[in-house]
Amino acid sequence: MIGPQSSSVQTALGPLLNGLVDYEYWLPVPKLMSPGVGELIGRYQARAATVGADASGYYVAPLAYAQMQVVEQGVSATQTLEDAALVAYTRDASFATSIGEVKFANVGEWSAARVLQVQFRNIRTNDVSEFKDARTRVVVSPDAFASGELIYPYADAKRAR
């Protein structure tokens, strides 16, 4: 479901999100704090505050920046903009990005799962600061990035404190 990743939706729904499991591409949990990502988010949030963009930037900024880092590294390594050369290089290379190391599999998908399954928890108000706290969105999958276990049934997650 697209929507709960946006700070405007989060602040509109507040505690109603408790227990919901949704996806994200990046969150400020220990296993996802790659070198430079904190600075990237800081720059994004400062700029977002002046233009009315998504206040947290977690959903789009790190992944979009990483995508452009892959392009930059591919162009630098191949010294060309030709699709065939970039595709060939991308198939075999690993890329150091804002979201960590990225490597692709045979048909272009990530070689390791990177889409996060996240459970909203412990949200008490509709203030945006609640959603910048990594404890309110717990990464439950994939295991390589997990910051906690799934609380099930849903009613238990709503009561979690």
The answer on pLDDT for 47 being more than 80 is yes
Q: Find the mean pLDDT for residues 44-64.
A: 85
Strand, coil or helix: what is 19?
A: coil
State which of 43-47, 57-61, 76-80 shows the largest mean pLDDT: 76-80
Spatial distance between the Cα atoms of 84 and 49, rounded to a whole number of angstroms: 40
Going by C-alpha positions, the residue among 133, 121, 106, 104 that lies closest to residue 27 is 133
- pLDDT band at residue 1, thresholds of 50, 70 and 90? low
Please state the domain extents for the chain: 7-159
Specify the DSSP element, H or E, that contains 22. strand 21-24
The answer on pLDDT for 4 being more than 80 is no
Spatial distance between the Cα atoms of 134 and 145, rounded to a whole number of angstroms: 13
Q: Find the mean pLDDT for residues 48-75.
A: 88
The pTM of the full predicted model, rounded to 2 decimals, is: 0.83
